């Protein structure tokens, strides 16, 4: 559809969000991502039956963990978007971009930056 969405978004493609493990999300933040979102099929329409439900519970788990270590669970979100729904995809991208921009850089990114500067 060639709809524009912010260039701050880096897309990692998977056959199913069920492939996303908690540690993948953690590593993204560890490497300095300011925000992460997991976009899966609409609930009840997962091509692999329940993969998106697994992703949802893993996202919930990691959100709590990020709160516990002070990075902030609000930097992580789960979205459900139909594969064909281009406009919604772009909308979510913009939404997440705005949200993370408002939150500012993640403390981990700051730490990496400070370390490089030292």
Partner 1 sequence: MIVAERKPMDEIIGFIAGCKKILLAGCNECVTVCYAGGRKEVEILASALKMAFMKEGKELEIDQVTLERQCDQEYLEEIRSTIDQYDAVISLACGVGVQFMAEKYLNIPVYPGLNTLFMGVTEERGVWAERCQGCGQCILGQTAGICPISRCAKRLLNGPCGGSSNGKCEINKELDCAWQLIIDRLKELGRLDDYDSLIPIKDWSSERAGGPRKVIREDLK
Q: Between 59 and 81, name the residue whose CB sits nearer to partner 1.
A: 59
Q: Between 24 and 88, name the residue whose CB sits nearer to partner 1.
A: 24
Q: Taking the complex as a whole, how short is the minimal distance between the CB of residue 7 and partner 1, in angstroms?
A: 26
- 87 neighbors 5 (Cβ within 8 angstroms): no
Q: Which residues is 77 bridged to in the sheet?
A: 37
CA distance 29 to 112: 11
Q: Between 21 and 98, name the residue whose CB sits nearer to partner 1.
A: 21
Contacts with partner 1 by CB under 8 A lie at: 21-23, 26-27, 29-30, 62, 65, 68-71, 107-108, 111-112, 114-115
Closest CA to 2 of 70, 86, 88, 114: 86
């Amino acid at each position: 559809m060639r709809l524009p969405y912010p260039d701050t978004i880096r897309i990692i493609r998977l056959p199913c969000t069920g492939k996303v493990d908690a540690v993948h999300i953690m590593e993204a933040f560890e490497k300095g991502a300011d925000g992460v979102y997991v976009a899966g099929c609409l609930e009840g329409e997962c091509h692999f039956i329940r993969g998106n439900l697994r992703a949802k519970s893993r996202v919930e788990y990691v959100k709590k963990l990020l709160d516990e270590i002070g990075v902030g669970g609000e930097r992580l979100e789960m979205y459900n978007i139909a594969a064909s729904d281009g406009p919604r995809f772009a909308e979510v991208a913009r939404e997440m971009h705005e949200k993370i921009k408002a939150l500012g850089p993640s403390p981990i990114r700051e730490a990496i930056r400070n370390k490089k500067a030292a």
